[in-house]
Structure 1
Amino acid sequence: MIKKNLRTHILLFLFTFLTLTFKGDLFIGIFQFEWRQMLEIFRIEWSYSLSLITILLCHEMGHYLPARYYGVKATLPYFIPFPLGPIGTMGAVIQIKEPIPDKIKLFDIGVGGPVMSLVLSVPSWLLGLSLSELVPITVSSDQHEFLIFGDSLFTYWTSQWIFGAHDPNLFMIESHPLARAGWVGLIITAINLLPFGQLDGGHIIYSMFGEKYRKWIYYLFLSFLILSFFNFTWLVWGFLIYFFIKIEHPFVPDHSFQRLGKKRIFLGSFMLISFIFIFVPAPLSIGSELDAPNLLEYFFGW
């Protein structure tokens, strides 16, 4: 049984590496045997897939290792391949197989993942950005098919720092694969830091504020839903959180005699503040959507 489960983890890992590298072109190699084209794609994309799968692996091990340290049963990471779309994966997950005994252990298990992915995604983004090119958008260029990776405060400021002051409406960044891996790692970290339910941010904020957070967490969720007026992505996430992930965290008892302490409070606060800087209000869009009205404009004409 253990060997069978290990085989599943390894196969999902390998298949996810392939979908990260080839994405939808994976089917070309399988069914049309365009091996030269596949080798060229691999030459270009291997740094993206290797970097991102490392970020995902370290994120999940940031949960898995503290869980095993505290004697909490947990599975190895399950990677989720997704050969459609521009990213190539839907992330990775581990499964906690038993209740977490107290809030200190909950905090350590919850915070480890986003700390690891943040620490790895930032240098991947910065190094990749330094290898990218800033090119002008010409009047004749057709932007309707452009895939646009949205900016967070962090990615906007760092791109302005590395390339110098420029107008994103007049220039576009031709991203190096390392930069794309860093961008995806940052947005995965940000989504996991949403402060709801069983997401990492939910673990962190519940551990820090305890049961009293239930008095205001629904107001925070309503504030989050305001984002859906500007980008439909967050309406989908609001649906997933409300019906599946849940808004409130399940009850976990306090530690019998120990508090979180200043170091954990500082680390939790740092991660929640970092969420503000790496959160992307409009993650992905295509050029044809730029002039389309958002929900606020559609319903209210604003």
Structure 2
Amino acid sequence: MDDHKVPPGRIGDRPEENPQEDLPSDTYEWPPEWEAHVPEAPSIFSILYLPILLFVVTVFTTLWAGAYQVNTHPVKGAWDFLIRYPENLFQGWPFAATLLGILVTHEFGHFWLSRIHRVPASLPMFIPGPPQFIGTFGAIIRMRSPIMNRRALFDIGVAGPIAGFVVAVVALIIGLSLSTVVPKLGLYGLQLGEPLLLQFFAWLVFGPIPETYDIVLHPVGFAAWFGLFVTALNLLPVGQLDGGHVAFALFGRRQRTLAYAVLPILVVLGIWGWPGWLLWAGLTVLVGIAHPPVIDPSAELGRGRVWVGWLAIAIFVLSFSPVPFYFG
């Protein structure tokens, strides 16, 4: 999943303004007890060649996943499919192009806003995944210097989810127009949860769908669904997820309270809904629930950014599915 790390500031970087404003005194101290050194300049391999290599591999694995999804030949698994029908690999391009289009747009939203705020950032590092499902674990961007103030933190954090969401919405409309409605006929298997946005556009495209019928998503529609799922995950207001950046920029120390309120909800959803939420809750505790401070937390966001923050919250509500996967 997308999780761009923000390195902390260095000792001695205290601004003229009071950096302790709006920070919990029981959590943060100034200067923080971080290592006071400038990292060595990264090599050309890590700056350019590694991101390109990882992206090329991810293109292959997502093509493989997309082709395996639409395969109609009797095979014993994804590897058997690749070995026996390598010429069918290109059949996965609608899924791969849509999914990577959403993820690339998301990551470059972060990247370009980092450039605008003069925060050195790496190119997106895509993580290839097994082809049995979608072929990737998403991507990360590494920040190579501290984010100076709340405005920069907000802009960089919110740009990715909004940019990716726009592409996902377009893909969802196209994907639903290519999808079909079929009788359930007593068939059971893995089902996808329906976020509010999917329900709305399905109603626009197909009208009311009887309970005895179901939508078979086209690969473009499935990639769009997964784009919404990833957007919702990243907007959870915890740690250094995009939602954690946005929540800290908006609410300051209250982000920690919000994160602690979200954690038990994930546990409940994991027990009575999708067990994957339990894993996600554990990862948030392991990585960290509270967002680290920025160097200058006193910078005001302004009314425009606050409205964009509310837009991000609306995107989360529209994209979130309490039970994203279930058998039925």
Give the shorter-chain TM-score range.
0.7 to 0.9
Question: Deviation at 1:39?
Answer: 2.9
Q: Which residue of 1 aligns with 2:124?
A: 77
Structure 1 residues 105, 221: closer, same or farther in 2, change over 3 A?
same
Correspondences of 1:172-251 after superposition (within 5 Å): 172-229=214-271, 230-244=273-287, 246-251=288-293
Residue type of the alignment partner of 2:310 = S
Higher helix share: 1
Provide closer, same or farther for how the CA distance between residues 201 and 20 of structure 1 changes in structure 2, counting only shifts above 3 A: same
1:130 corresponds in structure 2 to 177
Partners of 1:191 and 1:213 in 2: CA distance: 16
Are 2:321 and 1:269 aligned?
Answer: no
**Aligned counterparts of 1:13 and 1:57: Cα–Cα separation in 2:** 10
Cα distance between partner residues in 2 of 1:155 and 1:262 = 30
Offset at 1:270? 0.8
| Equivalent in 47, 69, 88 of residue 40 of structure 1 | 88
| 1:171-223 alpha-carbon deviations (Å, 9 max, x no partner) | 12221121111111111111000110100011001101112333443123223
4+ runs deviating over 3 angstroms: 24-30, 212-217, 253-256
SS in 2 for 1:196: coil
Gaps of 5+ in 1: 291-302
1:267-292 Cα shifts (integer Å, max 9, x gaps):
1111112201110112223xxx33xx
Render the CA deviation track for 1:210-239: whole Å, top value 9, x for unaligned: 123334431232233321122211111000
Letter in 2 for 1:112: A
Alignment gaps of 5+ in structure 2: 1-42, 69-76
Corresponding residue for 1:295? none
| Residues 132, 175 of structure 1: 8 Å contact kept | yes
1:160 corresponds to 2:177: no
| Shift in Å, 1:161 | 2.3
CA distance in structure 2 between the partners assigned to 1:268 and 1:128 by the alignment = 28
Q: Which amino acid aligns with 1:130?
A: S
CA contact (8 A) 2:237 2:258 kept: no
Residues 22 and 38 in structure 1, CA contact (< 8 A), matched pair in contact too? no
Q: Distance in 2 between matches of 1:231 and 1:122?
A: 24
The structure, 1 or 2, with the larger RCO (C-alpha pairs under 8 Å, 6+ apart) is: 2
Match of 1:293 in 2: none
Change (3 A) 1:4 1:106: closer
1:27 is aligned to 2:79: yes
Task: Report how far residue 3 of structure 1 moved.
Answer: 4.2
Confirm or deny: 8 A CA contact 2:122 2:144 kept in the other structure: yes
Deviations 1:59-89 (A, max 9, x none): 1111111112222121110001112432111
Q: Is the 2:176–2:221 contact (alpha carbons within 8 Å) kept by the matching residues of 1?
A: yes
2-structure distance, mates of 1:89, 1:216:
30
Distance 1:41 1:165 in 2: 36
Contact 1:208–1:268 (8 Å) recurs in 2: yes
| Aligned counterparts of 1:255 and 1:213: Cα–Cα separation in 2 | 13
Amino acid at match of 2:300: R
Identity of aligned residues (%): 36
Q: Count how many residue pairs are aligned between Structure 1 and Structure 2.
A: 275
Does the 8 Å contact 1:9/1:78 carry over to 2? yes
TM value normalised by structure 2: 0.78
How much does 1:41 deviate? 4.2
Q: For residues 201 and 213 of structure 1, what CA distance do their matches in structure 2 show?
A: 10
Give the letter for the 1:38 counterpart: P
Displacement after TM superposition at 1:27 (Å):
3.4
Q: Distance in 2 between matches of 1:29 and 1:220?
A: 41
For residue 173 of structure 1, give the secondary structure of its aligned residue in structure 2: strand
| In structure 2, distance between residues paired with 1:164 and 1:102 | 47
Letter in 1 for 2:118: G
Rounded to whole Å, the distance in 1 between the matches of 2:232 and 2:130 is: 22
Residues in 2 aligned to 1:165 and 1:41: alpha-carbon distance in whole angstroms: 36
Report the TM-score when normalising by structure 1: 0.85
How far residue 29 of structure 1 moved from its aligned partner, in angstroms, is: 6.7
